[in-house]
């Protein structure tokens, strides 16, 4: 032990432990002290403050940790909201112990910097000695390193609780650490923090599993049936061939010691096979499913069906990612994506039709992103442009073209879209005078800025959108027929949210992208699936934001939903999509054409019944 100076009780204690003596501290702390002295040859008397990597190194670490950052960010924000203003700082470190993300109280900035609790700090045990992140990385286990548990005396005011985060194959991605600048002396004060952090890591891994395995069954597991929907202890992803494709790390406990899970058949782990999995879903399970584990013991299970279409068949053309992600398997949207894919890099104008909020601009943007056009996507709301500014906004102007004009002139939105996509929203509301000028731009592919004598060539791809009937407007003399011919090379109809077979996928996708990632109970989801969504996707976004703000972190129950949605309990109990069109027709025949009686038997409301019949083109029966 030569070279280790003896400067205080703490240093003496560390040295004693390294020499084999015991101490009242937790075993995982003592093991770390021994690694520091015996393996890393660290000296407890020589302060070894965490190194802060350079900005360039940090950027590189963040790029390399892209998956970890995207997996953890929502969970971090959610957790920090709960502990905000309690003197904590939250760090996310990558597999090398470098802090790639942090959330802390801006008012404590100086103290946090002083303690090294900032992005870019490096916590590898071999440099800094025992600390939360470093010890967690070294063992892969959750740990609280409390005050004097730290190896370096300078770190002993801190209490750090760190938990590992794994990817869906069980590899360690990084560590989440919650540190307190001035924790109370008693380590027991942090016992709850450890449990909260473990639960946070579990939820982060769970959200990641669901996001990455949309085409697989997800099996949620918990020793108690009451927590299956709200906070499962572990989960598995199971492919159509019955093999395990992903997991949360806790699931490893089910396999028996030292046995991997990925790639194994489900019947090797539980006394059941792939055909039993659908029976454990919430729509089919009469009672909570209890599975016998092959390694011994039992666990309650709930299965969730795949929410994305299965992988593309070989005979289907590959679509660029932005277009593939506009739907989760709705047949009309799938067809729309395929048709849009065929005209991506052609000079064919497209009109997107659909109710307000169905995602017309979203689809237009996806088409632009999927195309090879490198210019900008420029969106113009034709209904919102102030009449007086329309010309100069769209076509731009030359320097000093008119009183009040900018001395450098203005490019105008159409030229901004040169090499890119011009999205004309609410095209049906464009004033007639302007329609004539737009027609010239589209026919001649050039723009004449206000005050200019020479036209400028433009290369633009035009996508328009409307919720109005353009042919009807032409008939009323409110829209130019020649402009309509220019615009409607391909007309794509975006279905309203209520008619989409992938509505559950859409709701879950939007919930996952909302701050706080609200999670809906099965009963609440059933109501959402039956609701009409007049505001379409925009209304889904608003609802997710509302429930996230009101019931932060809690599972959303029917009572939490706004009246317009929750009140449907009385008339609608089953998601309309669980009954096929053939079943509806059969029920109608059985009830002698009485729609009300057939709708009651199908447990859906009358208007939904009509709508489904209309959609299936047998509406004339009703």
523 binds ligand ATP (CB under 6 A): no
Least CB distance to ligand ATP at residue 283 (A): 24
**Region of residue 89 (phi > 0: left; psi between -120 and 50: alpha; otherwise: beta):** beta
Phi, psi of 342 (to 5 degrees): -75, -20
Kindly tell me which of 356 and 376 has the beta carbon lying closer to ligand ATP.
356
Task: Find, among 222, 190, 202, the residue nearest to 300 by Cα.
Answer: 222
In 127-167, which ranges are E strands?
Answer: 143-146, 159-166
Using the minimum distance from each CB to ligand ATP, give the nearer residue, 164 or 357. 357
Between 271 and 338, name the residue whose CB sits nearer to ligand ATP: 338
**11/529 with CB nearer ligand ATP:** 529
- Tracing tokens 């040295």 back to the chain, one arrives at 15
Residue of 362, 369, 474, 597 that binds ligand ATP (CB under 6 A) = 362
- For 147-172, letters b (16+ CB in 10 Å) and e give bbbbbbbbbeebbbbbbbbbbbebeb
| 53 belongs to the binding site for ligand ATP (CB under 6 A) | no
Alpha helices in 50-131 (DSSP H): 55-64, 66-83, 109-115, 125-128
Q: Does 360 bind ligand ATP (CB under 6 A)?
A: yes
Interaction of residue 330 with ligand ATP, rule CB under 6 A:
no
- Identify the H or E element spanning 31: helix 27-34
Going by their DSSP bridges, the two strands 461-466 and 421-425 should be labelled as parallel
C-alpha to C-alpha distance for 310 and 324, rounded to whole angstroms: 12
- Least distance CB 555 / ligand ATP (angstroms): 22
- Residue 509 binds ligand ATP (CB under 6 A): yes
Q: Is 511 in the site for ligand ATP (CB under 6 A)?
A: no
Dist CA 387 CA 436 (whole Å): 15
Contact 423, 377 (CB under 8 A): yes
Stretch that binds ligand ATP, among 212-220, 287-295, 355-363, 368-376 (CB under 6 A): 355-363
The minimum distance between CB 213 and ligand ATP, in angstroms, equals 19
User: Which residues in the 449-468 window bind ligand ATP by CB under 6 A?
Assistant: 465, 467
Q: Residues 529 to 568: which contact ligand ATP by CB under 6 A? A: 537-538, 541
Q: Which residues does residue 466 pair with via DSSP β-bridges, in sequence order?
A: 353
Over 343-355, what HEC string results?
Answer: CCCCCCCEEEECC
Question: What are the E-state strand segments in 535-605?
Answer: 555-556
Q: Token pair for residue 336?
A: 């729309």
User: Nearest approach, Cβ of 13 to ligand ATP (angstroms)?
Assistant: 56
Q: Which of 510, 529, 561, 601 binds ligand ATP (CB under 6 A)?
A: 510
CB of 351 to ligand ATP, least distance (A): 12
Q: Which residue among 139, 189, 356, 488 contacts ligand ATP (CB under 6 A)?
A: 356
Pair of tokens at residue 150: 């730290």
Question: Should residue 358 be labelled a site residue for ligand ATP when binding is judged by CB under 6 A?
Answer: yes
Q: Binding pattern to ligand ATP, positions 80-119, x when CB under 6 A?
A: ----------------------------------------
Q: Helices (DSSP H) in 85-224: which residue ranges?
A: 109-115, 125-128, 132-139, 191-212
Query: Based on CB atoms, which residue is closest to ligand ATP, 324 or 600?
Result: 324
Is the CB of 105 or the CB of 361 nearer to ligand ATP?
361
Q: Give SS3 for 294.
A: coil
The least CB distance from residue 265 to ligand ATP, in Å, is: 35
Nearer residue to ligand ATP within complex by CB, 335 or 443: 335
3-state secondary structure of 542: helix
Applying CB under 6 A, the site for ligand ATP has a residue count of 17
Q: What are phi and psi of 466, to 5 degrees?
A: -160, 155
Part of the chain binding ligand ATP (CB under 6 A), chosen from 114-122, 159-167, 358-366, 558-566: 358-366
Select 323 or 483, whichever has its Cβ closest to ligand ATP: 323
Contact in structure between 450 and 392 (CB atoms under 8 Å): yes
Residue 361 engages ligand ATP in binding (rule: CB under 6 A)? yes
Residue 148 in contact with ligand ATP, rule: CB under 6 A: no
- Give the residue carrying structure tokens 């560390």: 14
Question: What residue is closest to ligand ATP based on CB?
Answer: 359
Is residue 514 near ligand ATP by the rule CB under 6 A? no
Binding-site ranges for ligand ATP (CB under 6 A): 326, 354, 356-362, 425, 465, 467, 509-510, 537-538, 541
């Amino acid at each position: 032990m030569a070279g280790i100076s003896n400067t205080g009780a703490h240093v003496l204690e560390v040295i004693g432990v390294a020499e084999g003596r015991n101490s009242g501290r937790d075993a995982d702390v003592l093991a770390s002290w021994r690694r520091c002295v015996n393996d890393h040859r660290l000296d407890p008397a020589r302060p070894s403050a965490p190194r802060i990597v350079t900005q360039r190194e940090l950027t590189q670490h963040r790029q390399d940790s892209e998956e970890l950052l995207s997996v953890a960010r929502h969970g971090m924000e959610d957790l920090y909201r709960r502990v905000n203003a309690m003197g904590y700082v939250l760090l996310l470190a990558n597999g090398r112990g470098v802090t790639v993300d942090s959330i802390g109280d801006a008012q404590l900035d100086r103290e946090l910097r002083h303690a090294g609790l900032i992005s870019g700090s490096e916590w590898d045990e071999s440099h800094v000695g025992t600390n939360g992140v470093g010890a967690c990385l070294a063992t892969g286990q959750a740990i609280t390193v409390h005050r004097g548990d730290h190896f370096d005396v300078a770190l002993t005011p801190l209490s750090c609780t760190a938990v590992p985060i794994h990817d869906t194959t069980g590899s360690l991605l990084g560590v989440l650490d919650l540190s307190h600048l001035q924790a109370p002396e008693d380590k027991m004060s942090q016992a709850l923090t450890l449990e909260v952090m473990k639960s946070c890591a579990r939820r982060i891994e769970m959200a990641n599993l669901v996001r990455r395995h949309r085409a697989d069954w997800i099996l949620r597991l918990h020793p108690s049936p009451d927590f299956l929907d709200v906070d499962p202890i572990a989960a598995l992803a199971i492919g159509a061939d019955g093999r395990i494709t992903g997991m949360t790390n806790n699931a490893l406990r089910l396999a028996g010691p030292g046995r991997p899970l990925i790639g194994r058949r489900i019947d090797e782990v539980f006394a059941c096979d792939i055909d039993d999995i659908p029976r454990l879903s919430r729509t089919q399970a009469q009672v909570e499913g209890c599975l016998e584990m092959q390694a011994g013991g039992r666990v309650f299970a709930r299965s969730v069906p795949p929410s994305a279409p299965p992988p593309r068949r070989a005979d289907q053309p590959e679509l660029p990612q932005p277009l593939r992600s506009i739907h989760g398997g709705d047949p009309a949207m799938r067809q729309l994506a395929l048709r849009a894919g065929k005209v991506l890099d052609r000079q064919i104008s497209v009109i997107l039709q659909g109710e307000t909020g169905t995602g017309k601009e979203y689809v237009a943007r996806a088409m632009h992103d999927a195309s090879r056009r490198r210019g900008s996507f420029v969106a113009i709301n034709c209904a919102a442009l102030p009449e007086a500014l329309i010309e100069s906004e769209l076509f731009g102007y030359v320097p000093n073209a008119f009183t009040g004009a900018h001395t450098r002139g203005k490019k105008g939105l159409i030229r901004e879209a040169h090499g890119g996509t011009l999205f004309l929203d609410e095209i049906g509301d464009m004033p007639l005078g302007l329609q004539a000028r737009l027609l010239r731009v589209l026919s001649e592919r050039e723009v004449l800025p206000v005050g200019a004598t020479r036209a400028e060539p433009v290369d633009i791809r035009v996508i328009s959108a409307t919720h109005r009937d353009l042919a009807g407007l032409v008939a009323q003399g409110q829209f130019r027929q020649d402009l309509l011919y220019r615009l409607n090379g391909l007309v794509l109809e975006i279905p309203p949210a209520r008619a989409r077979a992938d509505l559950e996928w859409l709701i879950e996708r939007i919930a996952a992208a909302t701050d706080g990632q609200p999670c809906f109970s099965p009963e609440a989801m059933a109501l959402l699936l039956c609701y009409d969504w007049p505001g379409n996707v925009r209304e889904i976004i608003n609802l997710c934001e509302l429930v996230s703000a009101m019931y932060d972190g809690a599972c959303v129950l029917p009572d939490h939903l706004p009246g317009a949605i929750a009140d449907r309990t009385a008339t609608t109990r089953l998601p309309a999509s669980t009954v096929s069109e053939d079943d509806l027709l059969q029920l109608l025949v059985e009830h002698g054409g009485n729609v009300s009686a057939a709708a009651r038997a199908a447990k859906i409301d009358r208007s939904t019944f009509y709508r489904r019949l209309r959609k299936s083109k047998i509406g004339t029966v009703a």
